[in-house]
Amino acid sequence: MVSFAAVRRVASLGRSRRSNMNFLSTASFDTSTNESGNHSSSTRFLSSSVLNSRINRVASPSSSSAFSPQARNLSAFLDSYDAHVDERATLADGLGVAPKPLDAAQCQDLIDEIKAFSGSQEEGDRLVDILSNRVPPGVDEAAYVKAAYLSAIAKGDDSSSLVSRELAIKLLGTMQGGYNVGTLVELLKDSDESISALAAEQLKHTLLVFDAFYDVEEMHKQGVKAATEVMESWANAEWFLQKPQVQEKITVTVFKVTGETNTDDLSPAQDAWSRPDIPLHAVAMLKNSRDGIEPVADGTIGPLKQIAELQEKGYPLAYVGDVVGTGSSRKSATNSVLWFMGEDIPYVPNIKSGGVCIGGKIAPIFFNTMEDSGALPIEMDVNDLNMGDTIDIYPFEGKVCKAGTDEVITEFGLKTPVILDEVRAGGRIPLIIGRGITSKARVALGRDASVADTFKLPEEPENNPEGFTLAQKMVGRACGVDGVVPGQYCEPLMTTVGSQDTTGPMTRDELRSLACLGFSADLVMQSFCHTAAYPKPVDVVTHHTLPDFIRTRGGVSLRPGDGIIHSWLNRMLIPDTVGTGGDSHTRFPIGISFPAGSGLVAFAGATGIMPLDMPESVLVRFSGTMQPGVTLRDLVQAIPYTAIQMGLLTTEKKGKKNIFSGRILEIEGLPDLKCEQAFELSDASAERSAAGCTIQLNKEPIIEYLNSNVVMLKWMIAEGYGDARTLERRIARMEEWLADPQLLEADPKAEYAAVIDINLDEITEPILALPNDPDASAKLSEVQGENIDEVFIGSCMTNIGHFRAAGKLLDKVSEPIPTRLWVAPPTKMDEAQLTEEGYYSIFGSAGARTEMPGCSLCMGNQARVAPGCTVVSTSTRNFPNRLGQGANVYLASAELAAVASILGRLPTPDEYLQYMGQVDATAADTYRYLNFDELPDFVEKASSVEISDEMKAAAHKLQAGE
């Protein structure tokens, strides 16, 4: 049995002072690296003295002309701001939306007006109020401007009739961390004891101090009184204890949404462009009519008036549903819910925390994202909770009563007692960082590092298994131990982190709020696959600005038009390692990933670790032989189909049963799959609401995959992709593994929550997902003959073999096909190869609409199928209204989709097998995968790239776990 303390301790290795994994610092834009190949913390993480010098430069008259007062109209700020407020008040059908936070230019305009102020007290108060409350904290560009100005006043280098030195220090203390910290640390030594004491008060509740922690520690050792007070405060966890405790009784009004709430309901894909603008995006929450929900404008504006009427009862609202949070975009969905049902965060514009979310079942990533946001998610029986009920929740007693009475409606158990600490701290991430500071301060003061006297720590699981599953071994290795048992808290190292473009702007904002200017995760990659094809103006801005944001922090940025994040990120993986991503389909075919909301993804990228309560595992074990015409996509759907037959999964939302929810799906019995094929299986674990997925493969397909990927990554460097050093380090790690290819395996006596055996001999026809639910399954013979209007062949569930198969079937057709056919390959490399082989000519002759490589219809945020039509799609999920308003979508293989496009209906099994005979006859040619080490253009480009000895040494240390 591995103890919690051991896992926690090992997971913290590499995070001592000035180490490459240490995130307790404020990062610079310096790109020099340390011996591990990551940006060295002594340069990427600023000390208070270095940070002060930068702020002094910004605050000085010689600052860039972009922030020069002479370039500003000093009298225009309030008029301009009021015009913006008035404009936002007209949105949402006149119901109004909160104004945006200030950007850097607006913040400088505001400061210029404060400097030159000569107006009334009322106007002066307004200016200071806006400076105090409407500028984002952390390392946002506007925060940089704000911190520079306040620092100049706080240190006596500037003065203002509106902002006193004391007020400037207090306002610096509201900025959470980053650019404000250096000045506050310096002021601990101020000769004016009242000033040093005031600075100390601000630092006592500032958590994002990063390497400045050690500056305070050094001052303490030198006998600086204020520094000692700060260290004592951190050690005593005053930052936590001074926050209000969770109430013993929480009274709320129920906002009940019956059935399943997926995150498309809460954060519609069509409105993805507005996700970073939380109050505007929240307008679209539940915009489509459904039982009990009354949108202001059906399909456009959600139930704002209905929410307002319930709020008039005088209590906060609690979101309640049968099944809550399935699907993607969980952070934006959480933001929307909390915008109406959470609490304001002082001095932080347009973000809310707290709130209560109740579900009969809450999807695991959505649950975690609620935790990260400081909300209280609870799973319980919701059958007797109805819209408009006022209830009393007793979180410590685990019961819900009718408000003002002792009448118990239902009872519950919290997922973990730690969750109440998370709520009190303002979220799981602040709690983790804060506990770390308290522990470090205690050690610095000569005390025991334990914080068990103040905080509820995760409980150690009681079971001591005789063996570990593959997932438990992978996570264990990432924590420096043999294995991690279910229920055990750990912090595995994040080797690979992915971010896509509809969540990327939110991840960027979260990174700013974490004061991160350099990644500690070994590889962080950003894609633009969801918005490249039909960009809105806001998307174009993202395309131009987000790549630099990622690269300057040591990450890798793709380009618009490159294709789907997963098809690229999978080619950057190291076997048996752990990662995460801001897309629920970040499901590694080698290794394991735990997808997360953008806040946790930012934390993982910034710190190189991720908090995890190790889930249980469900084993899916295949046996037998694949039958003619049966594809990998049919095996994907065979998993929920079999689980339903076994009584482990139901499609009814009330009292829903789902053996996969929150567990790891571990797949065995298909060891010779190509890695591209394996991803079809791991990818679909998202639709099962599984926390993660592993697939036991033999070495040979992984060796083939990595040899190909080494060439592709070298090609990327030659093509100017960056950060080049990160790509070099990843190539070196791949080559290190290839030199001695070893794979983890599950122990024979590993324990599983359930075992699902699937005999391939018994699957003799395709299995489809029925419309509106990716779990609902049927054999082709049960739905044959259904008329089909449109067909989509694309998404991360496809690879080049699927498009060849479809092309070969379409090439036999002489008449125009009766359906609207959409074709979208996953990457630009697939597109180029298919074009070279003549398949795009076939698609064009068939009348197909060929889309830019990327997500296309799968997300449904831009191009859409016709309202109310019936579709066969190879996409990931088929929630109501996802691909098109009121569309009925079957999920199936590319091969079956192609046949349906030709016939205009679902074929009979015999018809399907006749068509598949044409594909099987040339299967060796059809299902050739993109092996870049066999493509001359890629090999030639790659040959010009040499990996430096420095990166080889860095990779060796990382592979060795040093």
Between CA 691 and CA 363 the distance in angstroms is 9
Contacts of 269 (CB under 8 A, 6+ apart): 329, 502, 859, 860, 861, 882
Give Rg (Cα) of the chain.
Answer: 28
Q: Residue 453, class by beta-carbon neighbours within 10 Å (0-12 exposed, 13-18 middle, 19+ buried)?
A: exposed
Residue 268 corresponds to which tokens in the numbers above?
Answer: 């519609």
- 908-932 confidence digits (pLDDT tens): 999 999 999 999 999 999 999 999 9
Q: Could you tell me if 292 and 388 are in contact, meaning their C-beta atoms sit under 8 angstroms apart?
A: no
Between CA 249 and CA 420 the distance in angstroms is 13
Of 199, 197, 186, 181, whose CA–CA distance to 143 is shortest? Answer: 181
Beta-sheet strands, E only, within 653-742? 664-668, 692-695
Between CA 379 and CA 393 the distance in angstroms is 12
- pLDDT value at residue 33: 36
* Locus of tokens 């009190």: 424
Between CA 364 and CA 692 the distance in angstroms is 10
Q: Are strands 26-27 and 356-362 parallel, antiparallel or unpaired?
A: unpaired
* CA atoms within a 13 Å half-sphere pointing along the CA-CB vector of 594: 31
Of 603, 568, 583, 411, whose CA–CA distance to 492 is shortest? Answer: 603
Residue 391 corresponds to which tokens in the numbers above?
Answer: 């209830």
Query: Quick one: residue 202, left, alpha or beta (phi over 0 = left, psi -120 to 50 = alpha)?
Result: alpha
Say whether 885 sits in a helix, a strand or coil.
coil
- pLDDT value at residue 477: 97
List of the chain residues with pLDDT < 50 = 1-74
Name residue 413's amino acid: G
Name residue 206's amino acid: T
- pLDDT value at residue 329: 65
- pLDDT value at residue 75: 56
Q: Is the pTM of this model over 0.85?
A: yes
Q: Residue 189, class by beta-carbon neighbours within 10 Å (0-12 exposed, 13-18 middle, 19+ buried)?
A: middle
Helix count and strand count (H, E) for the chain: 38, 29
Between CA 203 and CA 195 the distance in angstroms is 13
Q: Could you tell me if 236 and 302 are in contact, meaning their C-beta atoms sit under 8 angstroms apart?
A: no
Determine phi and psi for 593, rounding to 5 degrees.
Answer: -130, 155
Between CA 394 and CA 380 the distance in angstroms is 13
Contacts of 608 (CB under 8 A, 6+ apart): 14, 21, 23, 493, 494, 519, 520, 521, 522
- pLDDT value at residue 461: 80
Between CA 255 and CA 517 the distance in angstroms is 40
What ranges in 811-935 are assigned the alpha helix state H?
828-836, 839-845, 894-903, 909-920, 923-926
Other CB atoms within a 10 A radius of the CB of residue 645 amount to 11
Name residue 473's amino acid: K
| HEC secondary structure over 916-954 | HHHHHCCHHHHCCCCCHHHCHHHHHHHCCCCCCHHHHHH
Of 466, 437, 483, 456, whose CA–CA distance to 578 is shortest? Answer: 483
- Strand partners for 402: 391
Give the Å distances, CA to CA, from 370 to 283, 307, 568: 19, 20, 29
Between CA 287 and CA 299 the distance in angstroms is 5
